[in-house]
Amino acid sequence: MANHESTYRPTSSIGKWMDARLPVARIMHAQFVDFPTPRNINYLWTTGGLLTFFLGVQIATGVVLAMHYAPTAADAFNTVEHIRRDVNFGWLMRNLHAVGASMFFLAVYIHIARGLYYGSYKAPREVLWIIGVVILLLMMATAFMGYSLPWGQMSFWAVTVITNLFSSIDSIVPGLGTRIVQWLWGGFSVSGTTLTRFFSLHYLLPFVIAGAVGLHIWALHVAGQNNPTGLEIKTASDSVPMSPFAVMKDIFALSVFGLLFAWFVFFLPDYLGHPDNYIEANPLSTPPHIVPEWYFLPYYAILRAIPNKLMGVIAMFSSILLLVFIPWLDTSRVRSAKYRPIYKWFFWLFIISVVALGYLGSKPPEGAYVVWARVFTAYYFLHFLVIMPIVGVTENPAPLPRSITESVLGKGAAPAREAAPLGR
Amino acid sequence: MQREADLASHSAEEPTRRDFIVIAAQAFAGVGAALALWPFIHQMNPDASTQALASTEVDLSPVKEGQAITVVWRGKPVFIRNRTPEEIKKAVEVKVSDLSDGSARNDDLPDRAPATDANRTKKGHENWIVLVGICTHLGCIPKGQGLNDARGDFGGWFCPCHGSHYDTAGRIRKGPAPRNLEVPPYGFTSDTKIKIG
């Protein structure tokens, strides 16, 4: 895919001169204009473009916000209010940035669920998938540090609770966990020193994400895009050029998703946040009920489902790191769950579990909430560690179409060629 | 040509002076790079101005029996409670074997000291309990200092974040917290004054 011939033909003399020296235009043309895209990809394949857009939105609005924000314990809370009230269009920039983070996570969760359903992690896309997991972790770190910056009560106590997760190491090596936590804080408690370093890293990490996204797209363009059938592109009729087909579809999807984005930005900017964050951080008073932002709730539910502190922390981190091993845990010969009559049901059970964990993470950790959180946490891990390997071997997949073209146009329309399950 | 082949086979069989120099130079550069990293890591540790705030003096005379105050030491809240005789009695009567954390967690005592009420307080001042007011689970501030606060099932402190209950000696009795509330290093400088840190 990556080495497919570019149809780029420079016409102007400047274009020819440049092409002989630094063929950027030729590479861009090959990768983003006439790049072969499966003709059958659905709207779920527009989430990659959406995510690139939201990374751009976060960087652009973030750079602007940093011009008016002061990352010190004395000024942070006030400068955020100053941005909302005094700075020209500051309210807009701040709302775009805060809501943008939520939209970014919404899009990335849809993107990941799509990959899981259509088996996009299977060979030869393992590295592509793993880079995706790295991007998810970087996004989480960035969002977590960004949430500390308004320096409200939720900001402060979220930082306290999450950094204290590392103190659980004390139960393995006494004292080490505390040393790590004090190193993260730069003191004996969360303070303005902590805020300043989080601001520095919050500004840095999006550019690291951008680098990782570059690698993600590179790996994607080596293996080529997956599609709902999970078959590879075999003939010219299986694909269309990326531009205008996929690009226009991306732009249309972005317009629709943009309506949702705009609705929150203009009408419900604080809906996804927490009112306690409009109380300035107070190190001597914990809010009665600490909850993270909605996109962290499932992991928070897993953390609290386990009664032992260290095991809770390990379970929470494992729930994400486990994703790295999925390419080898899934034993199925068939990529797409569309042709997997049994696994399909387990997939939806997994999605229900994650949504349920999200709901339970927002509830206080008592009574039936804890019991259900344990049930769904157990399923989360069983799904990957037990169901995936076993169902992949035992299930009888439905017959696959012979090619991408056949799946679109029906039998007889496709050029007669044998299709192997994994296309290799 | 013959000589080159000789050299090639020679170097493949046994290390030469050049191999030694290359390895030594790489090791030197590696150690140098690791050492250069240290200042970048260590700058994040608590700085001199933070370390300088390491001790606090507190006057206890205004705190009447049954009352509690919270002071700040190293940026952390410290709970000081003037316990009633019933509260002391409740704390003394508990058997150490019934506690989920049997260690005193008193910075002035060795790690192996048992979590008796005597080991959590100062001799002659048993009515005073001094604790770092940070839940050992995930660092929230437990309730129980205010007169109308929930004090949990054991009459001491209750952490609302994840439901940890502490008794009147600040020992963990129920909930996810792994350790007793820490007793900071402190001493009585007079009958009504303490110095923490």
Helix, strand, coil percentages, rounded to 5, for chain A:
65, 0, 30
pLDDT recorded at residue A423: 41
Query: Cβ–Cβ of A304/B162 closer than 8 Å?
Result: yes
Tell me the chain A residues in contact with residue B163 when contact means C-beta distances shorter than 8 Å.
Answer: 364-366
Shortest CA gap A216–chain B (Å): 29
Q: What is the ipTM, given to two decimal places?
A: 0.79
3-state secondary structure of A280: strand
Tell me the chain A residues in contact with residue B50 when contact means C-beta distances shorter than 8 Å.
Answer: 186-188, 191, 193
Q: Which residues contact A92 (CB under 8 A, 6 or more apart)?
A: A265
pLDDT recorded at residue A20: 94
pLDDT recorded at residue B162: 79
Helix (H) or strand (E) holding B79: strand B76-82
3-state DSSP of B135-187: CCCCCCCCECCCCCCCCCCCEEEEECCCCEEEECCCCEEECCCCCCCCECCEE
Query: Cβ–Cβ of A160/B44 closer than 8 Å?
Result: no
Q: What is the dihedral of CA A11, A13, A14, A20, to 10 degrees?
A: 80
- For CA atoms B133, B197, B173, A359, give the dihedral sign: positive
Across the interface, of B41, B50, B138, the residue whose CB is closest to A164 is: B138
Looking at this protein, which amino acid is placed at residue A311? M
Residue A24: how many CB atoms within 10 A of its CB?
10
Measured in degrees and rounded to the nearest 5, phi and psi for residue B159 equal: -95, 115
Contact at 8 Å (CB) between B75 and A182?
no
Interface size A-B, in CB pairs within 8 Å, comes to 82
Residue of B nearest to A286 (CA): B141
Residue B162 burial (C-beta neighbours within 10 Å; 0-12, 13-18, 19+): buried
CA pair distance B24, B18, nearest whole angstrom:
10
pLDDT recorded at residue A7: 81
Look at the block and give the residue holding tokens 């891990």.
Answer: A381
Query: Cβ–Cβ of B140/A184 closer than 8 Å?
Result: no
Shortest CA gap A207–chain B (Å): 20
Residues lower than pLDDT 50 in chain A:
414, 416-421, 423-424
Q: B63-113, pLDDT tens digit by residue?
A: 998 899 999 888 889 999 999 999 999 888 888 888 888 888 888 888 788
- A124 preceded by cis ω (within 30°)? yes
Measured in degrees and rounded to the nearest 5, phi and psi for residue A49 equal: -65, -40
Query: Cβ–Cβ of A193/B50 closer than 8 Å?
Result: yes
Active site residue B162: yes
Measured in degrees and rounded to the nearest 5, phi and psi for residue A94 equal: -65, -45
Describe the strand order of the beta sheet including B128-132 as a list of residue ranges: B68-73, B76-82, B128-132
Across the interface, of B74, B141, B163, the residue whose CB is closest to A365 is: B163
pLDDT recorded at residue B90: 87
CA distances from A227 to A78, A119, B143 (A): 49, 9, 55
pLDDT recorded at residue A416: 45
Q: A68-118, pLDDT tens digit by residue?
A: 999 999 999 999 999 999 999 999 999 999 999 999 999 999 999 999 999
Tell me the chain A residues in contact with residue B137 when contact means C-beta distances shorter than 8 Å.
Answer: 164, 309
Which of A305, A310, A300 lies closest to A168, judged by CA? A310
Shortest CA gap B169–chain A (Å): 20
pLDDT recorded at residue A418: 47
Shortest CA gap B118–chain A (Å): 24
Tell me the chain B residues in contact with residue A366 when contact means C-beta distances shorter than 8 Å.
Answer: 163
B16-25 long-range contacts (CB < 8 A, ≥24 apart) are none
Query: Cβ–Cβ of A187/B46 closer than 8 Å?
Result: yes
Across the interface, of B72, B139, B163, the residue whose CB is closest to A160 is: B139
Tell me the chain A residues in contact with residue B56 when contact means C-beta distances shorter than 8 Å.
Answer: none
Check pLDDT > 70 for residue B119: yes
Annotated catalytic residue within B42, B137, B162, B165: B162
Query: Cβ–Cβ of A165/B74 closer than 8 Å?
Result: no
Q: B156-193, pLDDT tens digit by residue?
A: 999 887 788 999 999 999 888 888 999 999 999 998 89
Which of A282, A302, A307 lies closest to A292, judged by CA? A302
Query: Cβ–Cβ of A284/B77 closer than 8 Å?
Result: yes
Shortest CA gap B116–chain A (Å): 22
Size of chain B in residues: 197
pLDDT recorded at residue B84: 92
Residue of A nearest to B40 (CA): A183
Looking at this protein, which amino acid is placed at residue B174? K
pLDDT recorded at residue A424: 39
Q: Where are the alpha helices (DSSP H) in chain B?
A: 2-13, 17-42, 48-52, 85-93, 117-120
Contact at 8 Å (CB) between A190 and A163?
yes
Looking at this protein, which amino acid is placed at residue A117? Y
Tell me the CA end-to-end span of chain B in Å, nearest whole number: 77
CA pair distance A217, A102, nearest whole angstrom:
23
B148-154 long-range contacts (CB < 8 A, ≥24 apart) are B154/B90
Residue of B nearest to A370 (CA): B162
pLDDT recorded at residue B8: 54
The better pLDDT of the pair B53, A195 is held by A195
Across the interface, of A165, A286, A289, the residue whose CB is closest to B141 is: A286
Which of B100, B176, B132 lies closest to A306, judged by CA? B176
Contact at 8 Å (CB) between A303 and A316?
yes
pLDDT recorded at residue A367: 84
Q: A282-339, pLDDT tens digit by residue?
A: 988 888 788 899 999 999 999 989 888 889 999 999 999 999 999 999 999 999 999 9
Size of chain A in residues: 424
Which letter does DSSP use for residue B103 in this model? B
Interface of B with A (CB under 8 A): 41, 44-47, 50, 70, 72, 74-77, 111, 134, 137-141, 159-163, 176-178
Confidence of residue B6 (pLDDT cuts 50, 70, 90): low
